[in-house]
Amino acid sequence: MWNLWQSSFVRSLILDSALFPAAVTMLIVVAAYYKTRKCPRWRSIIWGAAILGGFLGGYALIYRDLSFPFPPRTVLSWLPWLALMGGIVVAIADRRKHPGWRYGARGMTASVSAWILLWPIMRQESVLAAFLAWLTVAGLWSVLWLALIPDKRDQKSTGATLFVGAVGLALVAPLSSSILLAQFGSALAVVLAVALVFSFLMRGSRWDSPSADVGVLILGALMVDLRFYAGASMGVMVWLLVSLAAGAGVASILQHRGSSSRWAVLTPGLISSLPMAVAGWMALQTYLASGGGY
């Protein structure tokens, strides 16, 4: 174990994809907590900023792209811009009273994000194939987004489901040809975990929609990359999606029953970890069948 830490390769993996994002998230949370003592209303935006800040800190180290160039050069270079711009769009839409704005903003953000992320593939395909691929991704993304964040309730339970999704992606990605995506998944999982723990510790704090929206955007973009660029199998992807849907479903049931304990927050995550384990097992079987590590 000590030998592993001696390796600069392993050390940079752990620092970039876990310790640094966690430290950034913690710093933002603690700083924001003290800065907002006189104005607790602002505390609700801590979690969104902490999740985005922590993930982007890890992203910059992992992708070695500190400049966030615009226009982005690669699909993965779009990730920070999609998270930031998408987060702002849905946050603005949430200020409108009519729920149509809420649904429309999320559907539009998912559709535009899917278009941007799939564009390099779509331009190589026939018009029909490209349109179907985009429609499928945009549709699934929108539906899952609205299922995970259906209204303005406290979104901690969605955070727990997204945490499981990020952990699953971090486990599945290296078995499906991308340690890079695994590192991004790990960074997202760590910042969600830190934000969840601190939100439990800070009495009366709640996750507003933008916090979970940022998580949905980042996780969605990583899943698109995992399927279309890393070539993860359809079976693995289906189980990953089932996992998120299961978490959303359980959270919705508990919400209708009026449960509000910590278990009500954690249960969706626990339930969604079951299909996630199936996805991991399937990816492992495929990996072992193709010869294992090298």
Residues that bind another protein (CB under 8 A): 7-12, 63-64, 73-76, 120-121, 124, 177-181, 225, 228-231, 287, 290-292, 294
CB of 34 to another protein, least distance (A): 37
Q: Which is nearer to another protein, 258 or 291 (CB)?
A: 291
Choice between 92 and 132, CB closer to another protein: 132
Q: 76 or 105: whose CB is closer to another protein? A: 76
Residue 111 beta carbon to another protein: minimum distance, rounded to whole angstroms: 20
Closer to another protein by Cβ: residue 29 or 182: 182
Residue 279 CB, shortest distance to another protein, in Å, is 18
Q: Determine the angle formed by the axes of helices 262-289 and 156-175, rounding to 10 degrees.
A: 10
In the complex, least distance from residue 16 CB atom to another protein, rounded to whole angstroms: 11
